[in-house]
């Protein structure tokens, strides 16, 4: 081999090695504990998810923005109508992956995720009709939920970009199980103490209902965000680099 060929080969070797930043851990496809290796890699990356990874164009995971949520319950005589807007969620970046199963031949990843704590806030407009009493309020809404568990399925496929193979994921399937939740609405300014007590009781009794209405939107937003993050990472490197 000529001298210049040796130089080119060495340069190529170092350029490939330099592509992977130190926060990306490579997992060998032949590793008998591949799932454990991938989970360790996720744990190593997790602190970066909250604020994003600029080098890889990975967007911040928090706050997670949710679309408008509408809640309507009850007959006209006892009606509850609430719209929630500008809803933002903090805490999803603290997710913990458990029970990971990997099928690299099919590029399929099945796992559970625990989200210890979610905090959210937004704005609400509320209409409550209790017999002959009508209450209309607007104000801030906030709440928190603990111990969310998600069942997740991710399926990927190899795609060719500029002649090189990369892993690209389809939108993940994610189903949430809700833990304990608390909800608070500000500006409930009913002057009659009886009306205020009834309204507060109505909100408290329907906290789980509010959270269950948020759940589908939260599932969709989490699935979209996590899929985007995964693809930003996997498409930044070749398949061979990630699973050497």
CA-CA distance, 31 to 217, in Å (whole number)?
A: 37
CATH architecture of 24-242: Super Roll (3.15)
pLDDT of residue 196: 67
Q: Where are the domains of the chain?
A: 24-242
CA-CA distance, 136 to 240, in Å (whole number)?
A: 60
HSE on the CB side for 189, CA within 13 Å?
A: 6
pLDDT by position in tens, the chain (length 244): 444 444 444 444 433 444 689 999 999 999 999 999 999 999 999 999 999 999 999 999 999 999 999 887 766 556 778 899 999 999 999 999 999 999 999 999 999 999 999 999 999 998 877 777 788 888 999 999 899 999 999 999 999 999 999 999 999 999 999 888 888 888 776 556 666 676 667 677 777 777 888 889 999 999 999 999 999 999 999 999 999 7
pLDDT of residue 167: 97
Cα dihedral 84, 147, 229, 213, rounded to 10, equals: -30
Spell out the residues 6+ positions from residue 32 whose beta carbon is closer than 8 angstroms to its own.
Answer: none
Q: H or E element: which one contains 177?
A: strand 173-177
Cβ neighbours around 167 below 10 Å, total: 20
CA 35 to the chain's CA centroid: 21
pLDDT of residue 199: 67
CA-CA distance, 132 to 60, in Å (whole number)?
A: 48
pLDDT of residue 119: 95
């Amino acid at each position: 081999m000529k001298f210049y060929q040796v130089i080119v080969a060495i340069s190529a070797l170092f350029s490939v090695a330099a592509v992977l930043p130190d926060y990306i851990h490579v997992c060998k496809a032949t590793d008998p504990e591949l799932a454990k290796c991938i989970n360790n890699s996720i744990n190593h990356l997790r602190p970066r998810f909250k604020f994003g990874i600029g080098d890889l164009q990975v967007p911040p995971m928090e706050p997670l923005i949710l679309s408008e949520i509408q809640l309507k319950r009850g007959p006209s005589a006892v009606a509850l109508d609430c719209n929630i807007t500008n809803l933002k969620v903090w805490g999803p970046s603290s997710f913990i992956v458990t029970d990971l199963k990997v099928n690299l031949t099919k590029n399929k990843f099945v796992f559970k995720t625990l989200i210890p704590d979610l905090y959210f806030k937004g704005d609400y407009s509320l209409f409550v009709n209790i017999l002959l009493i009508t209450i209309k309020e607007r104000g801030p809404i906030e709440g928190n939920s603990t111990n969310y568990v998600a069942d997740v399925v991710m399926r990927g496929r190899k795609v060719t970009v500029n002649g090189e193979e990369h892993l690209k994921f389809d939108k993940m399937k994610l189903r949430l199980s809700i833990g304990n939740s608390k909800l608070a609405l500000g500006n409930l300014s009913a002057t009659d103490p009886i009306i205020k007590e009834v309204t507060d009781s109505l909100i408290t009794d329907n906290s789980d209902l509010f959270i269950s209405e948020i759940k589908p939107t939260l599932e969709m937003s989490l699935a979209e965000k996590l899929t985007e993050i995964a693809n930003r990472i996997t498409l930044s490197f070749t398949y061979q680099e990630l699973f050497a």
